[in-house]
Amino acid sequence: MMMRAVMRALLLCLFAANAVADDPPFEDALLDKLVGSWLMTGTIAGGEVVHDVEINWVLGHRYVRIDDVARETNEDGGPAYEATVFIGWDKPTGRYVCLWLDLTGGGGLANDVFGYAGPAADRLEFTWGDDEGRIRNTFQYFADTDSWTWSIDNEKHGVATPFGRVALARK
């Protein structure tokens, strides 16, 4: 009985490994421009921020991972803000998909967990939420300076309120 369960588990792992091996790495010129070490400066929630941001291709070049850590500290001496963000491609819908996990409350794995952005030459405009309330985070690339801006807006019933305006410069 135990041997049969072990054999099933091994076969499942083998089939899963073959399925992943058949999926080629995700190639994307815009995301390639996002990869690197960045200094983020600007304002978020009305306060000045300075963050260190590391962005790399991960998991077999299928996702970009953004590690965002504030230089500002909290009362315990840890970062005032920290996030790990994954961006990939949703083949069925032809859109970028984003999972944003941060220290603001653990809601990253709750409803409306994924943000989506349509393809564009120099921007990723991710949207989370619905018509009653949205978060819109626009990543804009500037080729002449090889830099990015992120504009974060909260929308309620169609009215947008600026939440964050930051710039990323290569270290």
Across-strand partners of 117? 96
Task: Report pTM.
Answer: 0.83
Across-strand partners of 90? 95
pLDDT in tens, 40-89: 999 999 999 999 999 999 999 999 999 999 999 999 999 999 999 999 99
Phi first, then psi: give them for residue 145, nearest 5 degrees: -115, 0
The conformation of residue 106, written as its DSSP 8-state character, comes to S
Q: Which residues touch 83 (CB under 8 Å, ≥6 apart)? A: 66, 67, 68, 100, 101, 102, 103
Q: Which domains does the chain show, CATH number per domain?
A: 26-170 (2.40.128.20)
Answer for the pair 39, 171: CB distance below 8 angstroms, yes or no: yes
pLDDT in tens, 117-136: 999 999 999 999 887 789 99
Across-strand partners of 65? 56, 86
- Residue 167: pLDDT over 50: yes
Angle (nearest 5°) at CA 119 between 114 and 124: 60
* Residue in 94, 125, 97 with CA at minimum distance from that of residue 112: 97
CB hemisphere CA count around 162 (13 angstroms): 10
Q: In which element (H, E) is residue 15 found? A: helix 2-22
